[in-house]
Amino acid sequence: MQQEKVVIRWDGSSQPARWNVDILQEDLEGRKMLVLNSAHPNFPINVREFGPLDEDALINSIKTSFPGAHINMEF
């Protein structure tokens, strides 16, 4: 199974401000490809439940839903 990479960032310019989470996997040539993001209706975490200071709780939810994924937070 391919290791997933999770990229988390706070989007303060959106209305309302919210977390954005992208799930990436490597393709056969080693390029990172987007496979799922938090805007998708089937995303397993409701990121709207997390405020700007709730990054630890969000990361814990991501670890539960995507065990073994490499998590990056962008600022």
- Model pLDDT, residue 28: 85
Domain that holds residue 53: 5-74
Is the distance from CB of 21 to CB of 43 less than 8 angstroms? yes
- The pLDDT confidence band at residue 75, using thresholds 50, 70 and 90, is confident
Overall domain count for the chain: 1
Overall average pLDDT of the 12-40 stretch: 93
Give me the DSSP letters along the chain. Answer: -PPPEEEEEEETTSSS-EEEEEEEEE-TTS-EEEEEETTSTT-SS-GGG--TT-HHHHHHHHHHHSTT-EEEEE-
Q: What's this model's pTM, rounded to 2 decimal places?
A: 0.89
Higher-confidence residue of 57 and 15: namely 57
pLDDT of 2 reads 64
